[in-house]
Amino acid sequence: METITIARRLAELGQKEEAQKAYMMALSLEELPPLEQFEAASYLFFSKGNPQAAYTVFVRLYNEGYYQDELMNILWQAFYQPNEKKLRERYQRNCRALRRYRYCFRKEFPAFEELPFRFFPFDEKGYLPYYPEKKRFGDYVNFNDTIIDRYFFKDLDKPILAEDVFSQYHLEYLNDNVRKSEWVGKENHIYLYYSDWLVFCTHLQCLDLGNLLQDQKLVFLFEEEKAQYPIDFKERFGIDYSQYSVKPIGVREVNKLIWHTQLATHNGGDFFNEILFGHPNLLALDSIMMESMEKMIRETRQNWKKNKERLTKAPAYPLLEHIKDPTEKDFFVAYYLTQKICNKYDPTSRIVPALLFQPHFPNMVYEIHNTDNGKLGTLYSEQYEEIRKSPLFTGFKYIKTFTPMRRITTSYAATNRYVYWQALHEIGEGDNQMIPDVLGVRILNRSFMVDVWDRLYRDSVLVRFEDGKLNPKATFTALAEFLDIPYTESMTYCSTLRGINVPAVDSQYAYGGFDTTPVYNTYDDFSDDADRALLEYCMKDAYQFYGYDFHYYNGEPVDDDWVEEKAKGSTHFDGFVQETFEMVLNRMFLEDLEKQGPDCNTPSNRENAKEKAASQAQQRVEHYHENRVGMVKALQKVVSFVNKEGQPLHMMKPLLLDPKLLEQPLYH
């Protein structure tokens, strides 16, 4: 029996909730003819089951030409008329504000009824435009969607000219990030050009311009008025901005954060920091441990509250003294502004510098929580939860996120090298440093999969380390466009406090600038084909999506024996684990024998201690093997990764390069 037949019967029996579920299922699973779609949507709507689903079906049917009179009657009465008063009042309020505004040169606005199209509210956030002449609804639009997908700040030689900006978020972004002319000592208005006067007017029913006009930064130009750009304010309005001195950047001017994420360890993040370090429109420092930064900001704010006067000699005091109750975000920005190495930004620039922040963790550890018998997987990372809740992030209105990715097997092997050498060093210093299961951590690390509605990832992009090294012009031109900062000479080289293209540390494995050795070095002394094949198998979706070829996994069928074999085939890494655990345990056992006295500290007991240490170290290796197998089996069950609400996660979109700017073929 068809689902819709069941739905009808349930509706006849008065079982409303069950009927609603059945009608929803019929709409999602069956290819219904238009009349039955209308029936299902109508029941959902009038029974107050799922009005948004019904709305969507109504609009689709209307656009396809079905039952337009009946559908418009429903849509008009249910969705438009209850909101018309609010739309009309907002339109009239904006018109009044623009009539009074000095830099809007058109004053005759059409009556609300004369606007060429309408906006039907769809939900609390967005609208569906309706075009009467075409008898058609347009695509859903959210004027406050937190994505900056325009390259507003490509060229700062002249005042900003932005065309047909209808996003409230974009308008506020421009107003908040372009400095006042009086503060930079030159004409620096934002010229908003609209190619169609009536289209602009129609959007005034959805926008709120009142607060944006207070600073008088905006100049509105329509149609033929574009020829007026840029205006000579001295000649036309008698305002000579050159008489003003440059005003230092204020703490609350900085409201754009660029989050440089840590996808995993040894992922090439330092390279990107060095590219952006000297940018004149950024406040940039090296990677900073998240825990250290949060602790410092929190303690500074607490001390400020206890005794503000005692801190008058603190570097940040002049920046914060006039703020009534500085937030942690204020102290965070003030810290950057008072760091001498941050003062590379251009104070005369037309825009406020963005704050570049790469919070660092010893590792990014993910867990997969399975539901629906393992078919659905949700990702959890304690490190990300710390970032998501941090006031250092939540205080920023505008957030751009970029994530470097390095070939996963290369990054993994480089991490093995680091943790082994680090463990040997720490053990040599007397610490009990032992190596965690780096392979297991990597198997579960899927930080490239994101909830696209997550505020911190809403405006994000993934950029490949190899592209930055092999095709720097194409990569960093594209990255500058995404970040909405100019592509500058400072992005053509790597710089740190120590100079240009200097290796970050003294090491045979540290390479400065655009040296491509880290791209091709596979670190064979620190990993094996088996563990790398296992990683490629577990990450095959990421490899395919981000353009990496398989080097170790050959596409062969995978069964339990294959997984067992590969999980135990990490000879190099497991050897490091065995060696370091054995060294630490042996020392601990020998120290314990010494404490027990000469009677216990005998050669025989010392030999037994050595054997016990070796045995327990081997048990640790075997425990790692078992965990890896369990992780892979859990991954194999997952059909889809979802957020906490059950909505699917998506691969972070990759940074796309202009083929014309490629210097070498794309790395695979």
Tens digit of each residue's pLDDT (9 = 90 or more) over 7-36: 888 888 889 899 899 889 988 877 889 999
Q: Provide the 3-class DSSP secondary structure of residue 401.
A: strand
152: amino acid identity, one letter:
F
Q: What is the per-residue DSSP string for 36-55?
A: HHHHHHHHHHHTTS-HHHHH
Residue 504 — very low, low, confident or very high, per pLDDT cuts 50/70/90? low
Nearest Cα to 284, choosing from 254, 263, 314, 262?
A: 254
Q: Which domain holds residue 40?
A: 1-66
Residue 606 contacts residue 590 (beta carbons within 8 Å): yes
Residue 508 has pLDDT above 90, yes or no: no
Residue 501 contacts residue 514 (beta carbons within 8 Å): yes
What's the CA gap between 183 and 350, in Å, rounded?
Answer: 9
What's the CA gap between 77 and 84, in Å, rounded?
Answer: 10
Read off the CATH number of the domain in which 265 is found: 3.40.50
Residue 328 contacts residue 394 (beta carbons within 8 Å): no
Residue 596 has pLDDT above 60, yes or no: yes
Which of residues 66, 84, 104 is at a domain's end?
A: 66
391: amino acid identity, one letter:
P
Asked if residue 191 belongs to a domain, the reply is no
Asked if residue 606 belongs to a domain, the reply is no
Residue 217 — very low, low, confident or very high, per pLDDT cuts 50/70/90? very high
Tens digit of each residue's pLDDT (9 = 90 or more) over 343-384: 678 889 999 999 999 998 988 999 999 877 888 999 999 999
- Among 51-60, 290-299, 337-346, the range scoring the smallest mean pLDDT is 337-346
Residue 223 has what DSSP assignment? G
Tens digit of each residue's pLDDT (9 = 90 or more) over 270-291: 999 999 999 999 999 878 889 9
Alpha carbon distances (Å) from 342 to 267, 356, 358: 24, 10, 14
Asked if residue 628 belongs to a domain, the reply is no
Asked if residue 55 belongs to a domain, the reply is yes
What's the CA gap between 59 and 74, in Å, rounded?
Answer: 11
Alpha carbon distances (Å) from 62 to 27, 36, 52, 70, 75: 16, 14, 15, 9, 10
Q: How many domains does the chain have?
A: 2
> What percent of the chain stands above pLDDT 70?
98
Q: What is the pLDDT of residue 49?
A: 86
Which of residues 11, 35, 66 is at a domain's end?
A: 66
Tell me the mean pLDDT in the region 518-535. 95
176: amino acid identity, one letter:
D
Q: What is the pLDDT of residue 507?
A: 52
Asked if residue 171 belongs to a domain, the reply is no
What's the CA gap between 381 and 377, in Å, rounded?
Answer: 13
Tens digit of each residue's pLDDT (9 = 90 or more) over 136-156: 999 999 999 999 999 999 999
Tens digit of each residue's pLDDT (9 = 90 or more) over 97-126: 999 999 999 999 999 999 999 999 999 999
Asked if residue 521 belongs to a domain, the reply is yes
Which of residues 66, 85, 101 is at a domain's end?
A: 66
Asked if residue 113 belongs to a domain, the reply is no
Tens digit of each residue's pLDDT (9 = 90 or more) over 452-492: 999 999 999 999 999 999 999 999 999 999 999 999 999 99
Residue 511 — very low, low, confident or very high, per pLDDT cuts 50/70/90? low
Residue 372 has what DSSP assignment? T
Asked if residue 500 belongs to a domain, the reply is yes
C-alpha dihedral over 242, 246, 252, 254, to 10 degrees?
90
C-alpha dihedral over 156, 158, 163, 168, to 10 degrees?
60
Beta bridge partners of 193: 163, 221
What's the pTM? 0.93
Tens digit of each residue's pLDDT (9 = 90 or more) over 74-85: 999 999 999 999
